[in-house]
Structure 1
């Protein structure tokens, strides 16, 4: 499916767009797409950055700091102002001024929905694995010659970017459930990796969180496809519910995985069965049985996955089916997935020193932490090394809710160092610190409140053959280079 889309003409309301917080990962990506499609773009951010500089070189007008006059950078002023729910408060002076002038204010997902009009859309949702699955899909479609437009939550290692205006007919994006914004979209193909309760600060209950996925599935266009993981009870149950109710809308539901929870979706065909995953090098090789209607005749093939862990093999299968349902050949898609080079902050190697490897990962939910540490153990098993987890809890509410679950997941490591909570948009809660997690870990663990002391703490325990993994959605990623330096200076000894 390689036909081009005439999407150069933006809707009138997107002729001149002002983005508050334009340097952020999501906003900067959409700004690049707008500029590529001939739109005029202005914006503001709290500080200069490489992303801001890159946008300026492409013609964006950007002011550092937030002030009402930032809306006057484009001749005639903006036709719309774009913001985010989490990062920008409602009393931001630019939002206040926009409302005073009667300029429409959109949230980022609304802008993304406008940009996807006219495309065949492949959207990836789920509690975990969205970015990896979306990124695999982009790289696979590029291998198929499609040149998709895309908006991803992390930078692809192949291109170094998280967004692109392509010449093809497909638009690939993450559909974020955290604030219900996925309900802005009307997709053609949806992949749901898993559903596990999260973001209770927004939804308030598990039932409300699960319900948003049902609402999203109901938005799939007639003739579209829902792809669900039959190894995850939440995703499988969604597939079962949709499969029983969508016949009148002609929506096809397809499943992947080993089929652990297939009983929850008895009418959903298991079209990509994961038979086994064998670790190989930094990744693994999956044996997969493909079935109709994904392929004409049942057959088994191998699929190399460049990132470690069973969860990554499952993500690869979700991407395989999703891309195939956009019209691409299954085997060509598989070749593209095998060439996937990873995503920034998803089991990303940050450096080696004195026989110690330092990786970084964005995991910030207990299930994600468990998955990435399981993968890390697979990597070091052959050399009989140890795993040192350096974890930074993200959000006070999440830490209070899941402290015991985080501790249980972290106990898969051999040594654990816990930093203090990265509060992000939340104010501190009395008694909620990283110590809540560290004290419940069942392997040797330490709470290091001062993040500047993390690197030295790691260097004191690391030995040759160890794998160090910085984990979290906050600024713990900044510590990876310092850990490499501290380990090099400390010259670790041999593993006992």
Structure 2
């Protein structure tokens, strides 16, 4: 597609696969920012608007300026006719490209990245800036109960985004601030080895602009917070956000109060049900390190 950025009020955007977690949040933010949004998905339960259609069809692209897709469509064995038409018209863009090129335009961008803890840290950061009255827009890779989804629209100058390294997706973002939690080998279906992972992160750090603030584990002040979420890994996440708050000049009392009232996000040690002394948690951890850390947190909290 061409390199011109179209004005929001005159741009018609169609989201193919709008029910996906990333796509749902991005389409919500696009609508709030003035884009004329339609969408479609194969799952009926995701067609929650009269402008969202069940199933895919080239007919959806009539008068559409941009076709936003998830990178997953490129891994399908057979291309959908809707995607083929979009490619022929040169209007296809991934949601990560759309986020970086359109939704983050003119904003001070804060990206949270790393192998582990991205979603929780992003939600913590979004809550902190909200509590500090900065009214940020936020996109997270998990459900945040207080927002009723994985995105928050705000009219402030900051845009906070979870930045995922898979498929080098985060290279579409040009942040002013990066929180880099950690780096381990992950996504072996995309990266051949650890060096490729590290090179991807190096390139992303090279995208820093403006003040070019990079927050890493070496900046961790080692504070102990009275958190509502379990585990030492969440203490580390909170410390990263604490440093962010200090960098932004937020009052320390507001930072601590915000972090210590954070109640978590969906599928990250989420308490699903409880019967007597039995508690059932849902956790998305799938990397060996994440599984180990989650189990350690549970054993510390429930030693018996």
> Shorter-chain TM-score category?
over 0.9
Q: So what's the TM-score if we normalise by structure 2?
A: 0.92
Once the two structures are TM-superposed, the CA of residue 329 in structure 1 deviates from its matched residue by 2.6
Partner Cα separation in structure 1 for residue 85 and residue 6 of structure 2: 25
Q: Structure 1 residues 337 and 359, CA, compared in 2 at 3 Å: closer, same or farther?
A: same
Q: In the aligned structure 2, how far is the partner of 1:10 from the partner of 1:356? A: 54
- Match 1:166 to one of 138, 148, 154: 154
Note if 1:107 corresponds to 2:94: yes
Say whether the 8 Å CA contact 1:121–1:189 is kept in structure 2.
yes
Distance 1:140 1:52 in 2: 32
> How many equivalent pairs are there?
297
Q: CA deviation at 1:332?
A: 1.4
CA distance, structure 2, for counterparts of residue 125 and residue 183 of structure 1: 11
The match for 1:340 is 262
Paired with 1:166 and 1:332, the residues of 2 have a C-alpha distance of 19
| CA–CA distance in structure 2, aligned partners of residues 305 and 229 of structure 1 | 19
Q: Distance in 1 between matches of 2:167 and 2:265?
A: 23
Asked if 1:368 is matched to 2:270, the reply is no
Matched, 1:71 2:67: no
Q: Which residue of 2 aligns with 1:205?
A: 193
| Alpha-carbon distance change, 362 to 124 in structure 1, aligned in 2, over 3 angstroms | same
Out of 202, 205, 208, the position equivalent to 1:220 is 208
- Which is worse superposed, 18-27 or 60-69? 60-69
Would you say the 8 A contact 2:230–2:297 is kept in 1?
yes
Given the superposition, is the C-alpha separation of residues 117 and 145 from structure 1 closer, same or farther in structure 2, using an over 3 Å criterion? same
1:308 aligns with 2:230: yes
Contact 1:13 1:79 in 2 (8 A): no
Superposition pairs for residues 222-301 of structure 1, below 5 Å?
222-230=210-218, 255-256=219-220, 272-274=221-223, 286=224
Partners of 1:309 and 1:215 lie apart in 2 by 31
Offset, 1:61 = 1.5
Q: Is the 8 A contact 1:14 1:39 kept in 2?
A: yes
Residue 10 of structure 1: how far off its partner (Å): 6.6
- Closer/same/farther in 2, CA of residues 324 and 117 from structure 1, 3 Å limit: farther
Residues 213, 52 of structure 1: CA spacing in aligned structure 2 closer, same or farther, 3 A cutoff? Answer: same
Change beyond 3 A, Cα 1:110–1:95: same
Higher relative contact order (CA 8 A, sep 6+): 2
- 1:11 deviates by 2.7
Instruction: Give the ranges of 4+ consecutive aligned residues of structure 1 lying more than 4 Å apart after TM superposition.
Output: none
Shift of 1:347: 0.4
Tell me what 2:175 maps to. Answer: 187
CA deviation digits over 1:348-383, x for unaligned, max 9? 0000124311000010100000011011111211xx
- Whether the 8 Å contact between 1:189 and 1:326 is mirrored in structure 2 is no
Q: Partners in 1 of 2:73 and 2:83 — Cα distance? A: 13
* Cα distance change, pair 10–359 in 1 and its aligned pair in 2 (3 A): farther
Q: CA RMSD in A?
A: 1.8
**Distance change >3 Å, CA 14–CA 48, structure 1 → 2:** farther
**The 10-residue stretch of structure 1 (329-338 or 205-214) with the greater mean CA deviation from structure 2:** 329-338
TM-score norm. by structure 1 comes to 0.58
